[in-house]
Structure 1
């Protein structure tokens, strides 16, 4: 009988919630915490939030996307505030156009939706540097996300500027904003309650309510909360903030909230990021997650009175250079942020959308669900066209800086490409060029292409041929998105540190470190691309008219710096321009699978990165940025296309890889012979979810960690591991930044369950063997250098029952 009454009370609370919505009437209100529930104007309220990101949606489409979220039965919109898009230069703030976050919030309120604001300063979001501005790195010794005086000074200035936009839009002032988040998943970065407290105090002061006529005093103020994972939220949890959990589809929901329930039995429960899908990385297959798992998880939460924000409900697009990169290692994200979300990249309903909408009907107060809005633009195709105009990359060169090697940041450039050149002494045999190249380097000697160094593949060196005295070494380095997760967010671009050339003679090994370099910065922006093409076109036009004579590249460089003609034969990296004509506008997907690597601009809009390796081969082009008649396309290709053609298709291509070789780590030559090796530990893991620690018998040394999985907790040969850590002699986790997978006898490549998932800092992703593979299973991790360790930490899959959990094991360090 008690269960029936509890269910009836919960149903009444859920049914009452929509009628409490005051977002559209601009009346002052309150959003607070009650007994096991949130309170909206004193009444129980379940938050059903849809995460969307305003910079990833063209402004003309904002209201459509909000209405699509409302049509799912959501009652709130959750947004990040991206510091680096609002302050792209220190002290210069932009809250206009697509950056007008206040207008986005007003549109949410107009459509009866509340707003949850997550103002960082760090946001992650697979966004360039996690939302932190690149210019912070001009101060080389800066400590990010710590109480570094300069960092905190700039954080407070930024948050105050955001407050100028949003403080009047809080619920206490009659606006739609009901909650503000303090920092973001800080437990995945470190443990620093004083820092988190300082961010809290900053936000509390900015959003402190003024006294209002309808009540005495300023009230409690805007509700502040913090989010983290269930495994680490206590590290930085502050007593006076609401605690929320982040986890993905398929997770065991009771387990995710168990520790919170023990510590705060009367607190409301909320999953502030319930991951609907996942993000894509260059060189890996498109990520998807089952609709069934997502819908069942949300249904379970609502049935238990648990609030949520669905991350992402609509992902959108990381236009221009705003896509970030994951870590450990360097795994840059693709331009599309489709995320396998219920509302796809271009704003249309997916099968996930309809399944979710059907379930959400149960929690809509018995009313008819809001109508699904019509798409703002039709989908169109564009016939194949050629990009016939060309300007070499050197056409865009700026005045060089001579001397020591400089990074992008030292050249006062946030995004783009750097050219480095130096003269070499005579080297009579092969040499090895080594250094830290962030992120994609192409090497030339006397204008001849030698090879590339790709940070994605953890490459740091290249073999060079013998050279004569005075040979010119040229290195072109393209920067991709800065790392957005973990300690590696301090991600300088260009050549970081010195470049060395190592060669061997009969007598000794010789290491050369050139010091005198010419550094040339080429910014990534539309004006730079357009000016380079216009300059070359102007020379071409004059040549056609017979007014001048000479080669196009040499003539085009006459306006550049002295001595730049020596680069003129490096023709492949450069700018291409072409046009297509439309009788009607609409959304389309321009295909770039015949191109190499670089950036695209359409009618002056930065559309995003392309890379032939995939999986993304098309770029979403919103119809609101096209026009009837002639449309311009510019491609900066730092590699060079196989064919300079483009066409617009009716559907995106997000899952077409064009790799030189498989991503799998099953090269039999990398498999160690462990038959005579002594294990560092043997035994059996426990069944069930959660972290487990295996202590070694004393200290163990080795560069390679090998885990031999001999059996599973349940019948079957399939193994899965979500995360691994090693503890050092001090009992603390050692850095996993240099780790890479050396060998795995089986990896489920179709599901992106490769070996690197065991150290990707993401508890919801995992290494998993193929269905057909039989026991035992072996995974080998290269630690980057010899380490002394005392224990291994192991995390099985997060889903209920921890599928694929390892039972019997042997662990080796060698």
Structure 2
């Protein structure tokens, strides 16, 4: 591409719309979301960039990176030329492209190509949509090569005129050669054979094709950002996005990494530079969760209800602004005057627990990120719940998105007490991790806990669930402080007393993939 040498490296970068515009009209390109700094860093270390700005990115990310507030519109048609969608995309691109345009190759930057949407041939609901996205990019100053990416069956629907059409797992350029696979809760941990992967890479390069390794560096779905699949049944993705990639989610080398180095060294006919030293990991031992507070005791202090005759889904739950709730839990509370049978009629998304009064704590386990069901990803209660044959009415609805501000306020709530010998949640549990020296990466093991979320210094580390396969959560060193670190766990059901800080991850029982 352009004047790059015969064997050059590039990074393929997704831009997650749902993080950059978490509420309609409120944009964030600061701190960890500083796209300009990220692209400039790629240039500094000698990488070209293939930018994948979306608006849809998939990436096993909640709703494929689309912001959930789009679903407030009951008529919304995602990834089409529906006016409500294109107006939102245009507003987003108006903020995104001024950052991207000056960093293109022709302007001295690292961006050598831009992908038009992502895998649209597998969706293909609107024959005019890809042209719309293409023109949205060109009209805002994109001048580099346009690309599309799809599987073989989707190529006839997912390409744009004038763009370079790229297949996944097949030349001319393999835009996504899968080095591994992602995991779902309740399933195995998928592993791809290293020798087979390297042999395939060698055969692709021998054909003179380019290749993008997906993933080269594993990642983590911190917070509530992991997506889900829905084919025969709904399956939510685990917190880890290690992916059995060439580098682990913590940046450690794998056998795939060293085998690829041997291959690349043979191709260029000389040894490669020594790889950087990996960051050491720490085992900080057992962390005692010594205090707890029931969710029911937190509600009066921190949460104001929305009162509604009818259930309201998460996305339409208007709180301090008009953008609704995106992630986490919603508590629906009403009064019943007798017993009977509760019927959801498939109006609970995704998982509910019932408590007397009546209280329904509903968890959004992640929106589907791929396929034809994107428009049906509203969460919480999406319709009536029936007691016998009568729909429940007159709800108090509490938002439990558990943002950093909520977690910081939680530490000052009165009512924290010593953890009893046995307690069933939902409740928050609190402990301290003391670090004597410079913090290092570690992994938290939650043996004895059932299902919930871990917060470290008010940051959402992600979900855990005893059904596996994932048994440890990656905790990066920059989230830790020298001295005292606050650990808070929101446990839905059965709580343990301690968690373990270990230096080796365990992502579950392995299933090898051919």
Same fold (TM over 0.5): yes
CA distance in 2, matches of 1:623, 1:431: 46
- The CA deviation string for residues 660-717 of structure 1, in whole angstroms up to 9 with x for no partner, is xxxxxxxxxxxxxxxxxxxxxxxxxxxxxxxxxxxxxxxxxxxxxxxxxxxxxxxxxx
**86, 93, 102: which one aligns with 2:27:** 93
CA distance in 1, matches of 2:380, 2:487: 27
The answer to whether the Cα contact below 8 Å between 1:191 and 1:236 also exists between their aligned partners in 2 is no
**Deviation of 1:474 (Å):** 1.8
CA distance in 2, matches of 1:321, 1:432: 27
**Deviation of 1:157 (Å):** 1.8
1:152 equivalent to 2:95? Answer no
The answer to whether the Cα contact below 8 Å between 1:142 and 1:150 also exists between their aligned partners in 2 is yes
What pairs up with 1:327-476 in 2 under 5 angstroms? 327-328=230-231, 329-364=233-268, 366-375=269-278, 377-394=279-296, 395-396=298-299, 397-411=303-317, 412-427=324-339, 432=343, 434-445=345-356, 472-476=357-361
CA distance in 2, matches of 1:489, 1:636: 28
CA distance in 1, matches of 2:282, 2:21: 35
CA distance in 1, matches of 2:288, 2:480: 18
CA distance in 1, matches of 2:163, 2:127: 12
Pick closer, same or farther for the CA change 1:192–1:392 going to 2, 3 Å.
same
What pairs up with 1:756-771 in 2 under 5 angstroms? none
- The CA deviation string for residues 27-63 of structure 1, in whole angstroms up to 9 with x for no partner, is xxxxxxxxxxxx423x7856xxxxxxxxxxxxxxxxx
Pick closer, same or farther for the CA change 1:477–1:106 going to 2, 3 Å.
same
**Deviation of 1:432 (Å):** 4.9
The answer to whether the Cα contact below 8 Å between 1:602 and 1:634 also exists between their aligned partners in 2 is yes
Worse-matched range after superposition: 273-282 or 99-108: 99-108
The answer to whether the Cα contact below 8 Å between 1:398 and 1:522 also exists between their aligned partners in 2 is no
Q: How many residues align?
A: 498
Which residue of structure 2 aligns with residue 226 of structure 1?
Answer: 148
Which residue of structure 1 aligns with residue 485 of structure 2?
Answer: 631
CA distance in 2, matches of 1:433, 1:122: 31
**Deviation of 1:481 (Å):** 1.3
**Deviation of 1:433 (Å):** 5.3
The answer to whether the Cα contact below 8 Å between 2:342 and 2:385 also exists between their aligned partners in 1 is no
Which residue of structure 2 aligns with residue 500 of structure 1?
Answer: 386
Pick closer, same or farther for the CA change 1:240–1:333 going to 2, 3 Å.
same
Which residue of structure 2 aligns with residue 609 of structure 1?
Answer: 463
- The CA deviation string for residues 165-207 of structure 1, in whole angstroms up to 9 with x for no partner, is 1211110001110000001001111243311100000111223
**297, 300, 320: which one aligns with 2:203:** 300
SS at match of 2:481: coil
**Deviation of 1:421 (Å):** 2.4
CA distance in 1, matches of 2:304, 2:351: 20
RMSD of aligned Cα (Å): 2.1
**495, 515, 518: which one aligns with 2:396:** 518
TM-score normalised according to structure 2 size: 0.92
CA distance in 2, matches of 1:416, 1:325: 14
**Deviation of 1:430 (Å):** 5.4
CA distance in 2, matches of 1:167, 1:618: 40
CA distance in 2, matches of 1:535, 1:501: 35
Which residue of structure 2 aligns with residue 291 of structure 1?
Answer: 194
CA distance in 1, matches of 2:125, 2:346: 32
Higher relative contact order (CA 8 A, sep 6+): 2
CA distance in 1, matches of 2:125, 2:307: 41
**Deviation of 1:628 (Å):** 1.5
- The CA deviation string for residues 709-757 of structure 1, in whole angstroms up to 9 with x for no partner, is xxxxxxxxxxxxxxxxxxxxxxxxxxxxxxxxxxxxxxxxx6388xxxx
Which residue of structure 1 aligns with residue 51 of structure 2?
Answer: 117
Which residue of structure 2 aligns with residue 132 of structure 1?
Answer: 66
**Deviation of 1:530 (Å):** 3.4
What pairs up with 1:216-295 in 2 under 5 angstroms? 221-247=143-169, 256=170, 269-295=172-198
SS at match of 2:57: coil
Question: Please, which runs of 5 or more residues in structure 1 have no aligned partner?
Answer: 1-38, 47-73, 209-220, 248-255, 258-268, 446-471, 503-510, 542-551, 553-569, 657-749, 754-798, 800-814
SS at match of 1:40: coil
CA distance in 2, matches of 1:111, 1:437: 48
SS at match of 1:606: strand
Pick closer, same or farther for the CA change 1:44–1:112 going to 2, 3 Å.
closer
**526, 530, 536: which one aligns with 2:414:** 536
CA distance in 2, matches of 1:640, 1:349: 36
The answer to whether the Cα contact below 8 Å between 1:184 and 1:228 also exists between their aligned partners in 2 is yes
- The CA deviation string for residues 434-461 of structure 1, in whole angstroms up to 9 with x for no partner, is 442111100123xxxxxxxxxxxxxxxx
The answer to whether the Cα contact below 8 Å between 1:392 and 1:571 also exists between their aligned partners in 2 is no
TM-score normalised according to structure 1 size: 0.59
CA distance in 2, matches of 1:301, 1:624: 38
CA distance in 2, matches of 1:160, 1:171: 20
- The CA deviation string for residues 224-243 of structure 1, in whole angstroms up to 9 with x for no partner, is 01111111211232231100
CA distance in 2, matches of 1:337, 1:223: 29
Question: Please, which runs of 5 or more residues in structure 2 have no aligned partner?
Answer: 318-323
